[in-house]
Amino acid sequence: MSLTSLRASLRETWRRGSPGVVEPAERDSVVAAAVTRRYVILALGMTLAYEAFYLLYDPLRLAPVLILNGLIGAAYSSAFLIGRSGHQRAASLVALLGPLVQITIVSSGLSRRAGFHLFDLTAGVLAFLMLTDEQRVERWCVVILSIVAFGFVHLNYPIERVSVRLPLDVLDRMFVVNGVCSMALLYTAAALFHQQLKGQRDLLSVQADHMASLAQTDVLAQVPNRRRLMDVLARNANLPQVPYTVALVDLDHFKRVNDTHGHAAGDVVLAKVAAILMTSIRTSDVVGRWGGEEFILVMPATPLHRVGDLLERVRAKVAAETIEYDDVRIRVTVSIGAADARGGMTYQDAMRIADDRLYVAKRRGRNRVVSSDDEPT
């Protein structure tokens, strides 16, 4: 994905407020952009709330704090606009470093008793959500700066030496509010961490399921492959009291198709026949490619005498289909041999019987279904 398309994805993320659909390599940036957006909106709201408090309480005495607060509000607004334009790294750094400067200066005026420096510690935690693994240097710089800023304020700004004196009860209330808000930020960060971990687990689960599906799917025919079919047969064989039917479906004269029209045409024919088989079976049945031009139908909990009509419909449907490839019309037929497993018979035994009946169908002229040993020749 190009930088332009990445920025477009990030812009969409900021508009919607949630991660969009992007390539895996850009996923961290999109998540970081979404978290930064939410944090900037929350921080801007808190800044405006304090601005209103300062204006209502004593705007003349708190004029320096008012000005600084306004500048930080402008910084948050800039971070929002920067992120909206797709520059996630810059937006995150402005949103994280701006408060460190603000809190250090405000604490020098109001003293550490107001508790603003508690927010310094939240910046170090939020850095892990707002900066990606590729931005680990910036991430750890923010963590170190947040710790240094907290320690500097706590050790160098004693309560007695302040430039803006407020009543102690007001400072105590501010400490409570700031303590609650900073802890709320930490709890929110923990929840977001949990959400990210859950998302990663869900993603890994989906990827594992996808890989398992690929390992058990025939790439050409897009049906279960031999490995998956053997699992299906083994599961049915583990229920000896429940009969099931196995049918081998083999394309007639398939080599002639390859020799006449090429292997690419043969691949199209195989895929088309697989699609016909898939649309012809019941939802409980399984069809897969056993190898070459041979497919298998597995019909669980179904004795052979109940599937004769279904197999005949499959044969007729394939014979009636015209397959087009490069302006060439190709007609193919299939021969089918079927057997059911009952009375403790292994699936290998059932497969061997079905295979014998398939060869009987071939000897009798192909394009037919053979499901018993006593059918007329």
Over the stretch 77-93, which tens digit does the pLDDT of each residue have?
999 999 888 888 999 99
Per-residue confidence (pLDDT) for residue 90, from 0 to 100: 92
Residues 278-284: contacts with CB under 8 Å, at least 24 apart: 278/223, 280/310, 280/313, 280/314, 280/317, 281/310, 281/314, 282/310
Q: How confident is the model at residue 10 (pLDDT cuts 50, 70, 90)?
A: very low
Predicted local distance difference test score (pLDDT) of residue 214: 66
Residue range 95-121, pLDDT digits in tens: 899 888 888 888 877 778 888 888 888
Alpha helix (H) ranges present in the chain? 3-16, 24-57, 63-84, 88-110, 118-130, 136-156, 168-215, 226-237, 254-261, 263-280, 308-320, 347-363
What span, in angstroms and rounded, lies between the C-alpha atoms of 258 and 269? 10
Q: Where in the chain is the domain with CATH 3.30.70.270?
A: 226-370
The Cα-based distances of 269 to 71, 150, 253, 262 in angstroms read: 70, 71, 12, 11
CA separation for the pair 117, 131 (Å, rounded): 22
Average pLDDT over residues 156-165: 67
pLDDT band at 20 (very low <50, low <70, confident <90, very high): very low
Average pLDDT value for residue range 155-165: 68
Hey, what's the torsion of the CAs at 191, 196, 197, 199, to 10 degrees? 120
Cβ(61)–Cβ(164) below 8 Å: yes
From the list 325, 225, 341, 210, the residue with the least C-alpha distance to 274 is 225
pLDDT, tens digit (0-9, with 9 covering 90-100), for 194-213: 777 777 777 777 777 667 66
Q: Give the architecture (CATH level 2) of 226-370.
A: 2-Layer Sandwich (3.30)
| 377, containing H or E segment | none
Cβ atoms of residues 247 and 354 within 8 Å: yes
Distance CA 147, CA 247 (A): 71
- Amino acid 159: pLDDT: 64
Distance between CA 353 and CA 337 in Å, rounded?
8
Provide the pLDDT for residue 210: 67
Residue 319 has pLDDT above 70, yes or no: yes
